[in-house]
Structure 1
């Protein structure tokens, strides 16, 4: 079944690209209702899922955090500030064959990896 792109689909995609901050679904919704107060939270959630399925954005899962959505779809690493929780892109080459160095796979067939570095961002560091 071919799914057509809707105005809401485009609005949600634009919001993710505009925010560029690895926003949560709620943050994206809160951004959208500023200019489109009639858009529902369910519409935003459904379109985020569709955008992920279509490869327009990527879902980023960070343990202990709500899902975040990234406008950059290529494989890359992230850093999360342990003070404010903000998530940043890390400027380093993605290691494509890292899984090959796993000594005991415990029967897993590895299909990729996500790494989130942790630390204190510049803004929080300046507050110390």
Structure 2
């Protein structure tokens, strides 16, 4: 089945590209609905999922919090502030093939990894 690139999909992608940092689906929706009041939350969520599956944006799964989306699709790590919940990029070299160094005892064929560090951001520490 060929999926067409809709105006809504383009709008969602452009919004993720323009918003700073790592945004939630609600933040993307709130930004879009200001100028496009007829767009539904479901349409935004559906297109965020579609764009992340297509590799046009990156989804960051945040345990205990809302998933985040960002424009940078290259492999890199993130850190989440335990107090304010914001997510930041970690400035360190990505470790390619890390999954090959891990012996899996559950029968998985490891295909990649995504690491989310946690801590307290400088703003929340003060």
TM-score of the superposed pair, with normalisation by structure 1: 0.89
Partner of 2:55: 55
Tell me if 1:33 matches 2:53.
no
Q: Which runs of 5+ in 2 are unaligned?
A: none
Q: Which runs of 5+ in 1 are unaligned?
A: none
Question: What is the alpha-carbon distance in structure 1 between the residues aligned to residue 20 and residue 56 of structure 2?
Answer: 14
* Segment of structure 1 superposing worse, 77-86 or 9-18: 9-18
Q: Structure 1 residue 84: deviation in Å?
A: 0.3
Q: CA RMSD in A?
A: 1.5
Summarize deviations over 1:63-100 as a string: whole Å, max 9, x none. 11122212111111000011100000111111012123
Partner of 1:109: 109
Partner of 2:125: 125
Aligned residues of 1:20 and 1:71 also touching (Cα < 8 A): no
The list of structure 1 runs, each at least 4 consecutive aligned residues, that deviate by more than 6 angstroms after superposition, is none
* Segment of structure 1 superposing worse, 71-80 or 106-115: 106-115
Partner of 2:22: 22
SS at match of 1:35: coil
TM-score of the superposed pair, with normalisation by structure 2: 0.90
Q: Structure 1 residue 102: deviation in Å?
A: 2.0
Q: Structure 1 residue 104: deviation in Å?
A: 4.7
Partner of 1:77: 77
Aligned residues of 1:79 and 1:117 also touching (Cα < 8 A): yes
